[in-house]
Structure 1
Amino acid sequence: MMSTLRSPDIEITGISSMATRHVLNELALRYRTLTGQKVLTESVGGVEAARRLEGGESFDFAVLAKDTMLRLAQSGYVDASTLVDVAQSGIAIAVASGSQCPEVGSEESVRRAIQHARAIGYSTGPSGAHLMALLKRWGIADEVAPRLVQTPPGVPVAKLVASGEVELGIQQLSELVNVEGITIAGELPVSIQRQTVFSGGACTRSWHRSAVLEWLSALRSVDFDEVKERHGMTSVGSVRG
């Protein structure tokens, strides 16, 4: 069990990508119940979060894709010694509720579904970069390009799927689960899957280092694994399925 903090009156603030928004909000509520510690996280697009940290905005902690956190640590915005892997999430495909789900059990079936889709929604985050790499690898990037719709940072792909603007939505599972108006067709098969690891760390401008370290430690607690699972994430080292 995690220890109880002695300074519950301190509020620690953080910034995260949208992929971890729901899980961090629920974990913060549980953490406050257990310890009295207030944790407030602002969730925006990952690109925007990094830009704001590099622009000098003050937060106590950040939770972003691991490669982004490593870059921020290297440039001095995050304390490298505090970095911890919080959770990971794979990429999934969604359609509007009531629509027929495409077959996505193999690499070939996923390629075929993308080629035949009226429009495909994707994000500016790691899942979007992975999709672009796949299209290039398959040799269909130019063919599919006119039907690709990239959401602005912070706008979930699920919103485009639910509204019917796109036929397929491809994004981290954690951003698709429990969203009204869509159905998850499935996760990408292992041969083309990419698990994105999200790491947390204390910002170098934080005035509440000890409280932040307690919070970061709690994020790795097995007591929180069930919450991560419900939000389409797993602890690093675990495998879904």
Structure 2
Amino acid sequence: MSLQPALLRKSRPLLPALVALALLAAGAAHAAEIRVVSSGGFAQAYKNLAADYERASGDHLVSEWGPSMGTTAKAIPARLARGEPIDVVIMVGDALDKLMAEGKLAAGTKVVLADSPIACAVRRGAPKPDISTTEGLRNAFLKANKVAYSDSASGVYIETQLMKKLGIVEQMQGKAAKIPATPVGEIVAHGQADFGCQQRSELMPVEGIEIVGLLPADVQQMTEFSAALVRDAKQPEAGRALLKFLSSPEHAGAIEATGLVPAAKTKQ
């Protein structure tokens, strides 16, 4: 009696498992590792969407964080200048446009993701000043012992324009502090400043603070956050797929939940 039929019968239950393993191996072979650097303003929205993208695409995201501008080592322009291997950047639109003009990013790949308003916060439990009017905001700045703002887009606006509009440039000398790299909310939470202003989307995830409100409409500055493919990206096709995913209208709700105004919503 031949043993061949018996051996075939015993091997048949293994076939589905072998096929599944082959499919998994094929999928792994086509999965891409996408290196992304995001600035803080869009960081929480990106974190909320990252797992969904990985499940839908099979790709793996390697994520890091850094300011859109400034002189710190983690700033996105500094990373690109020293040739870090990055596929996609997410950052303030004006700063992204500058890098695009310099040839650091792939032409035509920019996608606008959201606008971000500036908000202010105090340490949890501290009195909340009324900043619903320009005069109220002015008083909040003047009454604070120390005011913190970032070294990125919102901080540049506060330092170069807002305090001039409020007429408090001289009064804030020695009281207003630009904070490099560290989120302003953390400075406020640790008691190193009693009042701080930054993008609302950057303040919302910070524990130990309470957001007082947005800057009044007549002195508010909306900051655009955009994304683009780096010119020498190692995963250009996967990077483009990620850009399409992040800018899709179906993800507007997840972006809005982080304090941003999705670009898809502003176009309606």
TM-score by length of 1: 0.92
For residues 176 and 96 of structure 1, the distance between their equivalents in structure 2, rounded to whole angstroms, comes to 11
The superposition leaves residues 7-42 of structure 1 with CA deviations (integer Å, 9 ceiling, x where unpaired) of 752111111212222211221111112222222221
8 A Cα contact 1:107 1:192, kept in partner:
yes
Q: Take 1:89 and 1:146, find their aligned partners in 2: how far apart are those partners?
A: 28
Residue of structure 2 equivalent to 1:144: 172
Alignment deviations for residues 198-239 of structure 1 (CA, whole Å, 9 cap, x no partner) = 110000111211111111011111221121122111212646
Partner of 2:10: none
Of 77, 95, 101 in structure 2, the residue corresponding to residue 50 of structure 1 is 77
The 4+ residue runs of structure 1 with deviation greater than 6 A are: none
Provide the identity percentage: 30
Q: Which residue of 2 aligns with 1:197?
A: 224
Answer yes or no: is the 8 Å Cα contact 2:249–2:264 preserved in 1.
no
Pairwise mapping of residues 175-186 of structure 1 onto structure 2 (< 5 A)?
Answer: 175-186=202-213
How much does 1:117 deviate?
A: 0.9
Q: 1:76 to 1:178 in 2, by over 3 A?
A: same
The CA distance in 1 between the partners of 2:205 and 2:91, in whole Å, is 21
Tell me if the contact between 1:92 and 1:186 (Cα under 8 Å) persists in the aligned partners: yes
Partner of 1:14: 36
Given residue 64 of structure 2, which amino acid in structure 1 is its aligned partner? Answer: E
Is 1:114 aligned to 2:141, yes or no?
yes
Q: What letter corresponds to residue 202 of structure 2 in structure 1?
A: E
Within a 5 Å distance, the mapping from 1:164-179 to structure 2 comes to 164-179=191-206
The 2-side partners of 1:145 and 1:36 are apart by 52
CA separation in 2, counterparts of 1:238 and 1:126? 22
User: Does 1:234 find its partner at 2:234?
Assistant: no
Gaps of 5+ in 2: 1-26, 70-74
Query: Residue 25 of structure 1: which of 43, 47, 67 is its match?
Result: 47
Find the residue that maps to 2:180 and give its secondary structure: coil
Q: Residue 103 of structure 1 aligns with which residue?
A: 130
Q: How many Å separate the matches in 2 of 1:84 and 1:45?
A: 18
Distance across 2 between alignment mates of 1:216 and 1:11: 14
1:60 counterpart = 2:111 = no
Any conservation in 1 of the 2:248–2:264 contact (CA below 8 Å)? no
> What SS does the aligned partner of 2:170 have?
helix
Secondary structure of the structure 2 residue equivalent to 1:170: strand
Q: Which moved more, 1:31-40 or 1:125-134?
A: 31-40
Q: Verify: 1:213 aligned to 2:235, yes or no.
A: no
**Structure 1 residue 6 displacement after superposition:** 10
SS in 1 for 2:173: helix
Partner of 2:140, secondary structure, is helix
8 A Cα contact 1:7 1:37, kept in partner: no
